[in-house]
Structure 1
Amino acid sequence: MTVDVLVVGAGPTGLTLALAAHDHGARVRLVERRPEFFRPSRALILHPRTLEVLRPLGLADAVLERADTAPSAELRLGSRVVEAGLSGFALPETAFPYLALVRQTDVEGVLTRALADRGVRVERGTELVVARDGGHEASAVLRSPRGTEEIGCRFVAGCDGPASTVRACAGIGWQGRPYAVEVVLADLDLADAAGAPGSSGARVFAGRDGLAFLFPLGEQADWRLLATRAAPPGGARNFGQPGPAVPQADLQRLLSDAGTEADIERVAWSARVPLRCGLAHRFRRGRLFLAGDAAHNYSPATGQGMNAGIQDAVNLGWKLGFAAARDGDGAGAGPDDAVLLDSYDAERRAAAQRRLALTHTAFWAEASTGRIPSWLRGVAAPWAAPAVPVLLNRSRLVAEGVRVLSQLRVNYRHSPLSVQGTPRLRGAPRPGDRLPDATVVTTGAPRRLHGLLAGPGVHVLLQRDAERPLPEALPDARVTVLRLANSPGRGLVAVRPDGHVGYQCGATDPAGLAGWLALAGVPVSPHALV
């Protein structure tokens, strides 16, 4: 067996999953049926939590070099104009208190180069024909210009989009429905000063028929248009994928109906994108897994698609890496591996269900052509426009909204990997919670906690007064121990590779910690922790 994890699909989800699995010990192969790298970006925003999970992979800085981290938006509500900032939120628990505007293509470029630096290349023009779960291993048939080959692997990760071949091969059902509204995307050059090339910030136009967004992030022209309209009849099935071009007259009508006076000078590219919302019945069957759009589809409201896929990938990637390493040691898949691998579905599917309800509600308000949402956009929003700056200035309210939208509030308290030791450590995040960032002292000057944890593996945080200190060097290099000199107490917190608390205890209990590490795929004897 020459590969541990076969990743199918080289979008943001597949690229991130390949990186996370590789950095946690797996041999990875990544295939993509599209022969070319470039495709017009459908996603244009990264959330704080997504930047957090990219940081331990060494990617956050490279992504931010290509991003606008102090974006602004001009909201046009009828005849009223409201300026809104998308940065500087009151989020002291993260190093990224903003919404970063960045093209999906740029994110994919950073991820692809990072894989190449690790010796993993994207095999473009290679299509998955079939994937099989064989119980003790998986297998796949691949087709490329070089011919057809069959390979064995430990796991197959389907990151291959809404029409996932892996999902079909796994026999996993789908629950969802098409939207009666479609998205129109286009790269444009505009003549009017309201959207003149060189002006900064996004433009948002609210009209009775929906919202229109203009982002200064065009790839083939200065501006990217994203607008919604009623989907024409015809039963489109290629959900989430760019379809036929849109005539310039239709694009101009969308802008005019939304209330902008901008005139289109040139259309460089355009497409219709049919939409659906839905959720796979499960995210795992045996050794076949689903992530990103293969597992869940959302409306574009609140910008969840790329962000949710990347967060799926980091959650699954470290688990496949640790499980593959244990298989490689000759231990084989045991009950602990079942807990570890099952936790992906338990954690991320529950989070996806909550996100689906959020995005569906937001999209109803944003794009539905029904009487109530049309009235809200066309009448109520302009009438309430003077109150918008007041609401935006209430930093706590806005910050809480960003926490919810960006999944900073997601927790896995009901996961089998979330274990509470005895006695309980008071005042600390609960098992399953995301570990917030904070200023800490280990040795020397104070540092930010997330910066100290910005690397692969499990991190065990000891309080200052722990009676039975753990050795700094454990037999397994995937576990790092840090003592927090500014945290009085005798307990410890074990932090998973994705930044969630896995285990916490008010005392240094070697047996309890060893038990949790075994669940997480890192078998360590309790005697090694003394």
Structure 2
Amino acid sequence: MVAHSGRHLTAAVDVLVVGAGPTGLGLALQAHAHGARVRVVERRPEPFRPSRALILHPRTLEVLRPLGVTDALLERADTAPGVRLRLGSRVVETGLADLALPDTAFPHLSLMRQTDVETVLTRALADRGVTVERGTELLTARDDGGGARAVLRSGHGVERIRCPFAVGCDGPASTVRACAGIGWHGRPYTEEVVLADLDLGGTSAGADAQVFAGSRGLLFLFPLGEQAAWRLLATRASAGGSGRDFGQPGPPVPEAELQRLLHEVGSCARIERVAWSARVPLQCGLARRFRRGRLFLAGDAAHAYSPATGQGMNAGIQDAVNLGWKLGFAASGRDGGAADGFDAEVLLDSYEAERRAAAHGRMLLTHAAFWAEASTGRLPSWLRAVAAPRAAPAVPVLLGRRRLVAEAVRTVSQLRVNYRHSPLSVEGTPPLRGAPRPGDRLPDRAVSVGGPAERLHGLLARPGVHLLLQRDAAPPPDTPAASPVTVLRLTNSPGRGLVAVRPDGHVGFRCGAADPAGLTGWLSLVGAAVSPSARA
């Protein structure tokens, strides 16, 4: 569809993405990769703002891999971070590289600034001909029953457009959420985060990250400052006040207060320069819905967490990859490119069913972790200031149990998230035993497709649906329709079964023997049709 605004002409788009943070950029990439015409608008005129997120989890790297951006991300990341954990007078050193995670290509935590993630994703979009329109603000958005109507304001004036879908990736104070009339269930934390970029004396630049445990909360020093050598992150009791902009940097913090925070936890570092600082008020919250008609919410517009376990950016990107392919297939279906019997509403409804449940579980995790990390209550304060130093000698032993650490990372990074109750998770007839269940994440492993062993996730590192046939499985039904489906026969996997893998790496369908009707029904459900390609 085309929108007129004075003498300006806007090219047709399928998906209007509001917000150019990691969530919006990831969504635009995923939707574009699956056939949608996308437009990304961002009200901020400049791309840089101090990063709040500093960690990429293994699962996030997995879901971004088919979009061809992981190599560029890893070039900017520290994938072998060392950490010095200071518990009172005791110091415990550990590394977070090469964790015992054999079923992923990224068995490590990656320290990486949010601004670097945005740079990589923005360049990837530009390579695909999609330019982020900065300085363009969404004024209103509404669902008109058959599409989304939006009013935008930029330096060129006011523009009215209509497109099939609009997605709010516009943060905690989401305009899209407000325009959709979607309620918000949440509450503020009594603690806040203090952020600062510092040059420090007594601590060498490029050293390991440092974590200090004190009675008033944890303090982190990361060698990832954007305007100075170090990024400080501390949790402290909130000063309160009305009208707080949750999740956004607030007023600066005096240098004397920052120095006092360092001294309180036993650091000998001296502040030589404060490049930037801010207080960030926090809340935990969840949108009552993730969709209203043709308006959708993703990332911070849909859910808000404490910074504990580093969920915000990762959760937003995982939302984006889940929703992006569905919007792409739905947009293609509107143009007549979907399989017979395709019902876009089922596909689009599955986004909320899958990701809102995941967000609720993540909220419980982060709330518990933040209580231990930041609460100034008597018990958590005693645990950090008294119990933790006494238990310090046992920490290396616990960290030495690589499988125990790996299981914790597996939970934190959302590798265990499943969509077993999704309408897109279908068990064929007969069921396939010994394979991931429909809705589960597909683990990585060594496979053969007729030659030397290769890693499965590497073979699937391209957009679209993937059909994995066991060695003796019957070929899938063939139709003349063009489709985003790749077929691979795993010659080192005996049996007659088949697994269909969604574009976000979750199993959608499986069967233990030929089930043409079941497979065709599932492909119709997600809007794809079979057209074997690649190494069938």
Taking structure 1 as the reference length, what is the TM-score of the superposition? Answer: 0.97
Give the superposition deviation at 1:390. 0.5
Q: Residues 46 and 100 of structure 1 are in contact (CA less than 8 Å); yes or no, is this contact kept in structure 2?
A: yes
SS across alignment from 1:460: strand
Instruction: Deviation per CA, 1:470-512: give whole Å up to 9, x if none.
Output: 3799733300100000000001000000000000000122211
Q: Answer yes or no: is 1:507 the counterpart of 2:513.
A: yes
1:264, 1:152 → 2: CA distance?
52
Q: What residue is the counterpart of 2:6 in the other structure?
A: none
Q: Answer yes or no: is 1:354 the counterpart of 2:364.
A: no
Q: What residue is the counterpart of 1:401 in the other structure?
A: 408
1:102, 1:405 → 2: CA distance?
17
Q: What residue is the counterpart of 1:431 in the other structure?
A: 438
Q: What residue is the counterpart of 1:175 in the other structure?
A: 185
1:100, 1:525 → 2: CA distance?
37
Give the superposition deviation at 1:443. 2.3
Q: Residues 190 and 263 of structure 1 are in contact (CA less than 8 Å); yes or no, is this contact kept in structure 2?
A: yes
Q: Residues 424 and 526 of structure 2 are in contact (CA less than 8 Å); yes or no, is this contact kept in structure 1?
A: yes
Q: What residue is the counterpart of 1:212 in the other structure?
A: 219
Q: Answer yes or no: is 1:113 the counterpart of 2:120.
A: no
1:333, 1:224 → 2: CA distance?
54
1:84-163 correspondence runs (5 A): 84-163=94-173
How many residues align? The count is 523
Q: What residue is the counterpart of 1:496 in the other structure?
A: 502
Q: What residue is the counterpart of 1:292 in the other structure?
A: 299
Q: Which range moves more in the overlay, 91-100 or 328-337?
A: 328-337
Equivalent residue in structure 1 for 2:17, among 4, 7, 28: 7
Q: Answer yes or no: is 1:40 the counterpart of 2:47.
A: no
1:11, 1:53 → 2: CA distance?
17
2:404, 2:480 → 1: CA distance?
44
Give the superposition deviation at 1:236. 4.3
Q: Residues 340 and 524 of structure 2 are in contact (CA less than 8 Å); yes or no, is this contact kept in structure 1?
A: no
SS across alignment from 2:343: helix
Q: Residues 217 and 234 of structure 2 are in contact (CA less than 8 Å); yes or no, is this contact kept in structure 1?
A: yes
Question: Which residue identity is paired with 1:489?
Answer: G
Q: Answer yes or no: is 1:321 the counterpart of 2:334.
A: no
1:469, 1:22 → 2: CA distance?
29
Q: Residues 471 and 481 of structure 1 are in contact (CA less than 8 Å); yes or no, is this contact kept in structure 2?
A: no
Equivalent residue in structure 2 for 1:443, among 447, 450, 459: 450
Equivalent residue in structure 1 for 2:523, among 517, 523, 526: 517
Equivalent residue in structure 1 for 2:62, among 38, 41, 52: 52
What RMSD over aligned residues (CA atoms) do the two structures have, in Å? 1.7
Question: Which residue identity is paired with 2:494?
Answer: P
Question: Which residue identity is paired with 2:504?
Answer: D
Give the superposition deviation at 1:137. 1.2
2:481, 2:524 → 1: CA distance?
14
2:222, 2:425 → 1: CA distance?
41
Q: Answer yes or no: is 1:373 the counterpart of 2:372.
A: no
Q: What residue is the counterpart of 1:338 in the other structure?
A: 345
Taking structure 2 as the reference length, what is the TM-score of the superposition? Answer: 0.95
Give the superposition deviation at 1:233. 2.9
Equivalent pairs: percent with the same residue? 76
Give the superposition deviation at 1:197. 2.0
1:333, 1:158 → 2: CA distance?
30
Q: Residues 518 and 524 of structure 1 are in contact (CA less than 8 Å); yes or no, is this contact kept in structure 2?
A: no
Equivalent residue in structure 2 for 1:485, among 491, 500, 516: 491
Q: What residue is the counterpart of 1:301 in the other structure?
A: 308
2:478, 2:270 → 1: CA distance?
64
Q: Point out where structure 2 has 5 or more consecutive residues left out of the alignment.
A: 2-11
Question: Which residue identity is paired with 1:196?
Answer: S
Q: 1:216 to 1:10 in 2, by over 3 A?
A: same
2:300, 2:517 → 1: CA distance?
40
Give the superposition deviation at 1:265. 0.5
Structure 1 runs of 4+ with >4 Å offset: 330-335, 471-474, 523-526
Q: Which range moves more in the overlay, 230-239 or 157-166?
A: 230-239
Q: What residue is the counterpart of 2:205 in the other structure?
A: 197
Give the superposition deviation at 1:331. 7.3
SS across alignment from 2:278: strand
